[in-house]
Amino acid sequence: MTEEADHGQTSATHGSRIDAYVDRYAARAAGMVASEIRALFAVASRPEVVSLAGGMPYVTALPLDVVGELVADLVARRGPVALQYGSGQGDPHLREQICEVMRLEGIEADPNDVVVTVGSQQALDLITRIFIDPGDVVLAEGPSYVGALGTFSAYQAHVVHVAMDEDGLDPAALAETIETMARQGRRIKFLYTIPNFQNPAGVTLDLSRRRQILDICNRAGVLVVEDNPYGLLGFDGEPLRALRADDPEGVVYLGSFSKTFAPGFRVGWALAPHAVRDKLVLAMESAVLSHSSFSQLAVGQFLATQPWREQIKSFRELYRDRRDAMLGSLEALMPAGCTWTRPAGGFFVWMTLPEGLDSKALLPRAVAERVAFVPGTGFYADSQGAQHLRLSFCYPEPDRIREGVRRLAGVIEQELRVHETFGTSSPIGRNGVHTPAPDIA
């Protein structure tokens, strides 16, 4: 804690100004700390760098002319509504459309139990806000989404990671962790899980495990928060059945249009048991009054007038090509000792470096060679992850992905030679900071 507070102060005095308010912040502000790698990502956004770091969807694939007409038409037909305040819960018609989208994953829901949020990030924030007292335990896959860990940290939750493998979260490990927490007298508030094409691991929770995990959580009285931004972006066959489909009272489901349409409107949602929904609406109103009516109606208009299922299909094909480009070049170019996951959807590959290599030490060298990734430590709330890194295939075109992987392979090979010669990874950047950075660099 002291270490984190120090980091905050360092960042605040940057630019040689002293923070007059340093003694006056809330205790929770100590959990809001800028990542050390942030400065590097500013460099990484230069055009000559192939960024395999960000989670930005490829919105250029959208029919921009259609979207332009659609928003103009929205102002012409419904301007006084689109430009006005809306309700805290969100536009009723959009909430119906959201239920239609969720039906693709086996969910039967009442639009009245949906709350529209400023991206699913805000849904995460509000869920954490209504459930977490400082010190409460949140269970999360290890690794897990960096933005969720940041939010949990901002509310002073204690994140306990649960092991996962190629079939996703491990039910036995989950049961054991819950038992350990109970023995220690710790209060678990919820399990946070990304079942499909997990960020950052790229793995998917096996269907047979889903029932087991629901049973384990039900028995222990642990709410499940199912975060599913990528569920419709599977590369093989139909979308998998959501956890929420089999347990309406035990699961809060979070969805988003950021990956299936466009993040620029910031429209996500939470589907929650009715009583929890009541609290979410109050929390929403206290946080932002209401989401942008314009954004909500624009998304609603897109769903109502455009072949959105076809749009998702075309996104799937686009991302599958990029996944193939990445897996193909990893296979062809990475030195022995590197391993990686093989995602069946979504945006991310999770890579493990040969023993002794450190992904954070690697990053400045990689950026110097004009390729960027996210070091693994950001995806853990504890000190794990140094041997891992996340590679995104969502944004660069296939040739750029191959070029990026080629550059990265070169950097890793060089680092391996140093390691073999001197028996250690190069020391730069090894003083790890485990606080998350935003996921959108």
The residues in 37-96 that bind its own copies, with binding defined as CB under 8 A, are 56-57, 59-60, 62, 64-65, 67-69, 71-76, 79-86, 88
Q: Is the peptide bond before 200 cis (omega within 30 degrees of 0)?
A: yes
**CB of 298 vs its own copies, minimal distance in Å:** 7
28 binds its own copies (CB under 8 A): yes
Our CB check for its own copies shows the closer of 80 and 423 to be 80
Our CB check for its own copies shows the closer of 70 and 99 to be 70
- Residues 327 to 346 in contact with its own copies, rule: CB under 8 A: none
> Where would I find the beta strands (DSSP E) of 262-373?
267-271, 339-340, 348-352, 371-372
Our CB check for its own copies shows the closer of 158 and 365 to be 158
- Residues 95 to 124 in contact with its own copies, rule: CB under 8 A: 118-119, 121-122
Q: Is the peptide bond before 47 cis (omega within 30 degrees of 0)?
A: no
Tally of CB atoms within 10 A around 293: 21
* 3-state SS, residue 5: helix
User: Which amino acid, one-letter code, is at 406?
Assistant: R
Kindly determine how many residues on this chain lie close enough to bind its own copies according to the rule CB under 8 A: 96
Nearest Cα to 247, choosing from 229, 265, 273?
A: 273
**CB of 174 vs its own copies, minimal distance in Å:** 18
Look at phi and psi of residue 226 and say left if phi exceeds 0, alpha if psi is from -120 to 50, else beta.
beta
* Host H or E run for residue 319: helix 308-333
Tally of CB atoms within 10 A around 167: 14
Our CB check for its own copies shows the closer of 132 and 330 to be 132
Can you tell me which residue has the tokens 């069946």?
344
**CB of 20 vs its own copies, minimal distance in Å:** 6
Among 36, 91, 105, 125, which residue interacts with its own copies (rule: CB under 8 A)?
Answer: 125
Our CB check for its own copies shows the closer of 117 and 329 to be 117
379 binds its own copies (CB under 8 A): no
The total number of residues written for the chain in this structure: 441
**CB of 418 vs its own copies, minimal distance in Å:** 35
CB 220 within 8 A of CB 188: yes
- Residues 190 to 229 in contact with its own copies, rule: CB under 8 A: 221, 223
Among 262, 361, 411, 412, which residue interacts with its own copies (rule: CB under 8 A)?
Answer: 262
The span from the CA of 197 to the CA of 266, in Å, is: 21
User: 130: which 2 tokens?
Assistant: 């209504």
The span from the CA of 210 to the CA of 247, in Å, is: 11
**CB of 165 vs its own copies, minimal distance in Å:** 29
Among 40, 217, 270, 298, which residue interacts with its own copies (rule: CB under 8 A)?
Answer: 298
- Residues 153 to 182 in contact with its own copies, rule: CB under 8 A: 153-155
**Window contacting its own copies (CB under 8 A); options: 231-239, 291-299, 315-323, 336-344:** 291-299
**Window contacting its own copies (CB under 8 A); options: 96-104, 148-156, 166-174, 348-356:** 148-156
CB 149 within 8 A of CB 200: no
32 binds its own copies (CB under 8 A): yes
Give the number of C-alpha atoms closer than 13 A to the C-alpha of residue 182, restricted to the C-beta side: 11
**Torsion angle in degrees (nearest 10) through CA of 132, 24, 6, 181:** -20
Our CB check for its own copies shows the closer of 47 and 221 to be 221
